Amino acid sequence: MSVIRKSEARLLSVGKPRPSRDPDVPYRVYIQTFGCQMNEYDTELVCSLLQDRGFVLTPDQDQADVVLMNTCAIREHAHTRVYSHLAEWKARKQERPVVIGVLGCMAQNLKKELMEAHPVIDVLMGPDSYRQLPDLLTNALDRRERAMAVDLSEYETYESILPERKPGVNAWIAIMRGCDNFCSFCVVPYTRGRERSRSVQSIVEETHALVGQGYKQVTLLGQNVNSYRSHDADFAKLLTEVADVPGIERVRFTSPHPKDFPPTLLDVVAHHPHVCRHVHLPLQSGNDRILDLMGRSYTRNDYRTLVNEIRRRGDVALSTDIIAGFCTETDAEFLDTYELVREVDFQSAYVFKYSERKNTIAYRKFPDDVAEAVKSERVTRLVELQRGISAGKNRELMGTEVEVLVEGNAKKSSDQWMGHTERNVTVVWDKAALPLTLGDRVTIKVDDASASTLFGTPVFPVNARARSSMDRALDYGSRG
Ligand code: SAH
Ligand code: SF4
Ligand code: F3S
């Protein structure tokens, strides 16, 4: 194995050069994204880096010279999906030459092992090496070189790169990368490396630019978003500065850790007129022994206290993540989680079956001893409990009016609009009822509700109403 480009990229093998081609015809790249919003954001970064170097993007994989998969490693299922795509491309590659690149967390997690087991992969790259992607793809295309770049960085934030965003209403900004928490079940600290934050100035400048491009809602992203720190600025300060940018209607953030919620942050979430009244607050378990094994650094009671602190300040919706069937979890310990979910009354919850991840603390120290059938049953019980709670909360909204940002077509029909309330509930309504465009804010009277969606009728555009965001801004200001 020889080393190319100073340190990180490793050249693994060189094949016969490709027949010469017209250098004026750009290479076409197809990219598929798995995993979380951070990966979606990274795909936008990768697209930007590639376009700057003359690659063009194609939505058609059959036309592509390069196929990239931006992968996830959080649960085994995420790996399985990528393996099946690799098997498919192995067959297709025999019909026509195409360069296959595997990017992201699975690449970082498995490294050489993945590359060696799957000769179909030409380029393997972890999340901190994307600046090298254009070079490695060019080498793979022109000289059939196989290479990988999987070094993690303590500094890379891609601060200077403007992501290639889809036009629309919503934009993501990654404000920090990496995670230092090392929850015992989680692979992220190994796939994303150490925590590092972008400067407040660069994030605020990017927000101004987004407003200029017509975006209305910004979601601040980080694996551990509220541990953001840049010089003396903490997350509450950054959130306020972003939400103060004129023209930004709504600011969201994900995912915070319950350990980093100082009162200043709670106040911003409860009162700033442009910060949405919604917190995604991953619980993982409601039992103290399991929380301790997970390394979550809070107890059931700490979590409850935080929920009360949030709710004491205002009507803020809460959603959560839960893992069922973690190592050694007993029925009684699971019931603690079940009871806490009932008590907290979340708006929604993502429930996951524990999936052992190689090299994590849990993998090294605890047995993955809850039977598959028991894990599945616990997931089903929690999902059913939460579905009932969500449906009940949504039904309570029937007959009321909710304020919605028009975000795009409904999933099921392009004759319907879809948007969210500030509390992050999905709302769907017929386009024919009122002429609206993307980015409008509108009041919807709720006629019907399921556990996941409100259905309604537009009453009038909010912009014409008395209680505009300016009024709310004045309210906030007068609160002092
Ligand atoms: N940084 C976020 C979580 C990112 S991963 C946080 O701390 O909340 C998203 C969710 O995946 C986690 O909240 C957890 O519920 C779930 N998850 C992570 N590792 C898992 C594993 N090994 N098995 C099952 N679910 C897992
Ligand atoms: Fe994983 Fe815990 Fe970090 Fe979240 S906080 S990314 S669950 S290690
Ligand atoms: Fe998956 Fe990596 Fe996100 S493991 S959940 S893509 S941070």
The model's pLDDT over 31-69, given as tens digits with 9 standing for 90+, comes to: 999 999 999 999 999 999 999 999 999 999 999 999 999
Residue pair 15/144 in contact by the 8 Å Cβ criterion: yes
Which CATH number do you get for residue 83?
3.40.50.12160
Which residue's alpha carbon is nearest to atom 7 within ligand 3? 188
What does the pLDDT average to over 366-393? Answer: 98
State percent of the chain over pLDDT 70. 91
Q: Are residues 315 and 410 in the same domain?
A: no
Please determine, for residue 441, whether its predicted confidence score (pLDDT) is greater than 70.
Answer: yes
Q: Are residues 289 and 386 in the same domain?
A: yes
Q: What is the pLDDT of residue 368?
A: 98
Q: What is the pLDDT of residue 24?
A: 79
Which CATH number do you get for residue 204?
3.80.30.20
Q: Are residues 42 and 143 in the same domain?
A: yes
Look at residues 354, 373, 395 and tell me which one is the last residue of a structural domain: 395
Q: What is the pLDDT of residue 23?
A: 73
- Give the domain range for residue 290: 170-395
Q: Are residues 456 and 347 in the same domain?
A: no
Q: Are residues 57 and 132 in the same domain?
A: yes
Residue 357 CB–ligand 1 contact under 6 Å: yes
Residue 323 CB–ligand 1 contact under 6 Å: yes
Which CATH number do you get for residue 408?
2.40.50.140
Of 468, 466, 479, 480, residue with least CA distance to 441: 468
Q: Whole-model pTM above 0.75?
A: yes
In a domain, 213, yes or no: yes
Residue 164 CB–ligand 1 contact under 6 Å: no
Please determine, for residue 2, whether its predicted confidence score (pLDDT) is greater than 60.
Answer: no
Q: Are residues 302 and 331 in the same domain?
A: yes
In a domain, 338, yes or no: yes
Q: Are residues 381 and 308 in the same domain?
A: yes
Q: Which ligand is nearest to the CA of 185?
A: 1
In a domain, 265, yes or no: yes
Q: Are residues 56 and 138 in the same domain?
A: yes
Mutating to test ligand 1, I would choose from 34, 36, 177, 186 the residue with most ligand atoms within 8 A of its C-beta, which is 186
In a domain, 327, yes or no: yes
Q: Are residues 432 and 345 in the same domain?
A: no
How many domains does the structure of the chain reveal?
Answer: 3
Give the containing element (helix H, strand E) for 475. helix 469-478
In a domain, 57, yes or no: yes
Dmax over CA atoms of the chain, in Å, equals 71
pLDDT band at 22 (very low <50, low <70, confident <90, very high): confident
Q: Are residues 320 and 408 in the same domain?
A: no
The total number of residues shown for the chain amounts to 480
Residue 189 CB–ligand 2 contact under 6 Å: yes
Q: Summarize the chain as % helix, strand, coil (round to 5).
A: 40, 25, 40
Provide CB contacts within 8 A for 163, sequence distance 6+.
41, 44, 45, 47, 48, 172
Q: Are residues 183 and 323 in the same domain?
A: yes
Q: How far apart are CA 430 and CA 36, in angstroms?
A: 30
In a domain, 477, yes or no: no
Please determine, for residue 1, whether its predicted confidence score (pLDDT) is greater than 80.
Answer: no
Q: Are residues 425 and 355 in the same domain?
A: no
Render pLDDT for 383-415 as a digit per residue (tens, 0 to 9): 999 999 999 999 999 999 999 999 999 999 999
Give the containing element (helix H, strand E) for 402. strand 401-409
In a domain, 25, yes or no: yes
In a domain, 120, yes or no: yes
What does the pLDDT average to over 295-315? Answer: 97
Q: How far apart are CA 160 and CA 356, in angstroms?
A: 36
